Amino acid sequence: MDRYLVGFNINDIPYEHYDVIIIGSGIAGVYTALQTDKNVKVAVITKETLDISNSVLAQGGIAVSLDKDDSPECHFKDTIYAGAGLCNEETVWALVSEAAENIDILCRYGVNFDRAENNKLALSREGAHSKNRIVHTGDATGKEVCDTLIHALLKHENVKIYERTFAIDIIAENRKCIGLLTFMEDLNGFKLFLSESVVCASGGYGQLYYNTTNPPVATGDGIALAYRAGLRLMDLEFIQFHPTVLCHPENRSFLISEAVRGEGAVLLNAKGERFMPSYHPMAELAPRDVVSRAIFQEIQKTRSSHVFLDISHKDREYVENRFPTIYRTCMQYGIDITKDKIPVAPAAHYSMGGIMTDAYGRTGIDGFYACGEAACNGIHGANRLASNSLLEGLVFGRRIAIEVSNRVLNGTKHKTVAPELLNVEKVSSEPLENVNVLKLKLRKLMTEKVGIVRDEENLQEAMKRVLEMKQEISGKAYTTIEQWEFVNMLTLAELVIKSALMRKESRGAHYRSDYPQTDDINFKVNTII
């Protein structure tokens, strides 16, 4: 594996100094920037525009124990249960015990959460939660939170935002962070951001799969650059497939929130039969991996492309007001959810694995941090509990913000100096072509061979074909963002398959039909370096 994705001479690249560089403009990146001390000079770089991220698409809400019958201890137990034995108890406790404080901060920023009649935050329930504890804004919570936080961020004079800026590689020396090499589309050239503190909040790798709820930007770039820098990755085999994604010829990526099931919707197979009670005692509110596999099996049994989600028995006005985005979107495709059943099927949704961190987002490189979906601190274990993802970005984004602020303000402030002799040569006369065709080929391969149900034969075949693709592009020149994305995707595909082959058991979101039992004696966390 090459240490750097591109060839460059560091002396030929324009640069700027910042106290902190943040990669990503989802909830984790933006909230980290907002919570950083205003005396700290921050740069936020984002591959697309500021408002494009996976966080924006989050519908359900944010988990927090606020009800008198609920508690952080109860939230902790539900998270541990969903994680199927692989959760890190220290980080889970940090998540649940600091949740209310961060929700209060969001309210002070002006996030307009739905309210109950007593003006307290309205609480709903989602899969594997034992209590009502999901705060929400209709069915567009992610957009409301992100829009509000971005609006606040634009007022912070200590923060500069760089859009259409692609993070290529971390620059480090002696395991200490020096800065970040980027490509700026608007300048059509490289730029070096020098800093002793870089925060990776670049999101996950849902685009490895053909059917995904993730936006096109979710190609795992931050995780891949961390791997090239020699950092440990963890839990990559655990890809969460959301059970209920719209299955329509014109749209196979629109999420039908778990909150719909939380409000009483039931799942029906192609024959119109309700099936979830026969798979799990919690029926439609079982953990996501259970529901996804159940739908997968029902689709196979009935030789259909989908099952149905039915909430038509609920009051029309209530459904329209509670799920306005889902209602409007489905109506565009001729589906009136107040009287019609919604065709749904599972799709890749969330990456539990990522850059291995501690409870404060620290990694194996001094000054390089990670949070949000790009990170893996053990909270989600083998299966993320619904609505813990936005919460994770908040809790650990704030922890990192406090850490880097103290690092800058209490340390010896000096300008980071780039290594003068860093000259990476990449000689190739042959450009990488047909990259979009290759991306599509990879995504279909991962869906077919490394999906909801896996086995040795399919995983080995997937590995063989990924290695063939690597050989096919070896030695060619990568000079565009699309090409760099593909190399990152190919790197992660190999590592996901490797991790899936290593785990010879079924646990959480990782299901092996050739090893269907959970091995509670020999199981461990998979890390790759």
pLDDT at 425: 84
pLDDT over threshold 80, residue 55: no
Find the angle CA(120)-CA(124)-CA(129) to the nearest 5 degrees: 125
Using one digit for the tens of pLDDT, what is the confidence trace for 437-462?
999 999 999 999 999 999 999 999 99
Q: Looking at per-residue confidence, does 477 or 169 come out higher?
A: 169
pLDDT over threshold 90, residue 193: yes
pLDDT over threshold 90, residue 197: yes
Q: In 3D, which of 91, 92, 70, 97 has the Cα closest to residue 81? A: 92
Annotation marks residue 288 as catalytic:
yes
Topology of domain 431-528 in CATH is Methane Monooxygenase Hydroxylase; Chain G, domain 1 (1.20.58)
**Structural domain boundaries in the chain:** 13-237+352-410, 250-347, 431-528
Topology of domain 250-347 in CATH is Flavocytochrome C3; Chain A, domain 1 (3.90.700)
pLDDT at 136: 93
DSSP structural state of residue 11: G
Q: How confident is the model at residue 412 (pLDDT cuts 50, 70, 90)?
A: low
Alpha helix (H) residue ranges in 248-347 = 258-262, 288-302, 316-322, 324-332
Mean pLDDT value across the chain: 94
CATH architecture type of domain 13-237+352-410: 3-Layer(bba) Sandwich (3.50)
Q: How confident is the model at residue 415 (pLDDT cuts 50, 70, 90)?
A: low
Average pLDDT over residues 487-494: 98
* Sequence-distant (≥ 6) Cβ neighbours of residue 30 within 8 angstroms: 44, 146, 149, 150, 153
Residue 128: strand pairing partners: none
Using one digit for the tens of pLDDT, what is the confidence trace for 252-282?
999 998 889 989 999 999 999 999 999 999 9
3-state SS assignment for residue 362: strand
pLDDT at 454: 97
Q: Which of 125, 133, 261, 288 is catalytic?
A: 288
Count Cβ atoms below 10 Å from residue 425 Cβ, excluding itself. Answer: 7
